[in-house]
Structure 1
Amino acid sequence: MSSPTSRRTRKDALHNRDRVLDAATELVRSDGERVAMAKIAERAGVGVGTVYRHFATREDLLGALVHRSFDLAVENAGAAAAHPGSALEGVRLFLLATLRDRERFVLPLHGGPVIFTPATRQRQADVRTVLRTLLERGQAAGELRTDLTPEDLIVAASLLSRALPGAGNWDTLACRQIDLMINGLRPQRLPPANCS
Structure 2
Amino acid sequence: MITEVKTFPVAVSARHIHVSEEDLQALFGPDATLTWDFALSQPGQFAAKERVSIVGPKGVIHNVRVLGPVRAATQVEVSRTDAVKLGVSAPLRQSGDIENSASINIMVADKEVTIQQGVIIAQAHIHMTPADALALNVENNEWVAVEVESERPVTFRGVVVRVSEDFSLEMHIDTDEANAGFIEQQAQGKIIKSWT
Q: Normalized against structure 1, the TM-score is what?
A: 0.22
Structure with greater helix percent: 1
Q: Which has the higher contact order (CA 8 A, sep 6+)?
A: 2
Kindly name which structure, 1 or 2, has the bigger radius of gyration based on alpha carbons. Answer: 1
Structure with greater strand percent: 2
